[in-house]
């Protein structure tokens, strides 16, 4: 849809390969030609197990064909009544084109369809697999913080080039509505995690100095 795949038309436009043509018939390889109107690909669609393919005309855009594909009816006994075949045929046509170019392998039109049907069934099976049971969620209990509990908040900033850290902490006494703030800097700190731990450690020591027993 984004016109990004390296078909001949795109390769020429980008100046990558000015001689690139359809590997099946030698004509100009556009998006619609590759997927719908090449003489080889016409054999694929003629044998494809669809009820009708009335949208394949040269003046129809790729977007219109893809949107119309949602209404395509897959005939039995393919076993794909409840799943899509059309996108897998596009993919099989694309990989067949690449095998012709890079491996000089010519795949039969019937084999293109067979490959698409196998891939479509694999995809359908993968969608219908039972989802694994989810792990039992253990409820997280929120602790009840008493009014006389001192709230302690700490933070740190660390500089990698100098291994210095700035530390700070705030203590709040909700009962008396008093804040205590302090900070400082330290050297030879090996990581930001160590700086955070150092800030918490110093904050706890300060709480001990203040004789706070419930923090």
Can you give the residue ranges of every domain in the chain? Answer: 8-127, 151-209
Has residue 108 got a pLDDT over 80?
Answer: yes
**Average pLDDT across the chain, whole number:** 87
Return the pLDDT at 36: 92
> What CA–CA distance (Å, rounded) separates 45 from 28?
20
Mean pLDDT of 47-74: 82
Tell me phi and psi for residue 182, to 5 degrees.
Answer: -155, 160
Return the pLDDT at 132: 64
> What CA–CA distance (Å, rounded) separates 2 from 96?
21
Percent of the chain whose predicted confidence (pLDDT) is above 70 = 94
In what order do the strands lie in the sheet containing 164-173? 151-159, 164-173, 178-186
Of 95-99, 111-115, 131-135, least confident by mean pLDDT is 131-135
State the alpha helices, DSSP H only, in the chain. 8-13, 31-32, 39-47, 62-68, 86-102, 109-128, 192-209
Return the pLDDT at 183: 87
Has residue 56 got a pLDDT over 60?
Answer: yes
- Structure confidence by residue, pLDDT tens digits, 135-184: 777 777 777 778 788 889 999 999 999 999 999 999 988 888 888 888 88
Q: Using an 8 Å Cβ cutoff, are 35 and 93 in contact?
A: yes
Has residue 5 got a pLDDT over 60?
Answer: yes
Has residue 130 got a pLDDT over 60?
Answer: no
Please give the structure tokens belonging to residue 178: 């008093």
Mean pLDDT of 113-126: 90
Listed in order, strand segments (DSSP E) in 174-214 are 178-186
């Amino acid at each position: 849809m984004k016109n990004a795949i390296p078909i001949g038309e795109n390769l020429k436009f980008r100046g990558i390969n000015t001689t690139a043509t359809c590997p099946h018939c030698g004509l100009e390889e556009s998006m619609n030609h590759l997927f719908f109107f090449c003489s080889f690909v016409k054999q694929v669609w003629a044998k494809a197990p669809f009820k009708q393919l009335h949208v394949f005309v040269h003046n129809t855009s790729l977007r219109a064909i893809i949107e119309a594909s949602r209404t395509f009816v897959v005939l039995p006994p393919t076993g794909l009544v409840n799943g899509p075949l059309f996108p897998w045929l596009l993919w099989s046509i694309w990989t067949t084109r690449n095998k012709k170019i890079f491996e000089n392998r010519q795949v039969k039109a019937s084999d293109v369809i067979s490959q698409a049907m196998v891939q479509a069934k694999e995809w359908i099976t993968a969608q219908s697999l039972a989802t694994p049971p989810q792990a039992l969620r253990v409820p997280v209990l929120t602790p009840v913080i008493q009014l006389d509990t001192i709230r302690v908040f700490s933070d740190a900033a660390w500089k990698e080039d100098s291994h210095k850290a700035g530390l700070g902490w705030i203590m709040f006494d909700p009962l008396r509505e008093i804040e205590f703030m302090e900070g400082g800097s330290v050297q030879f700190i090996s990581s930001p995690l160590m700086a955070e731990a150092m800030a918490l450690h110093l904050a706890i020591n300060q709480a001990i100095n203040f004789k706070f027993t419930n923090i």
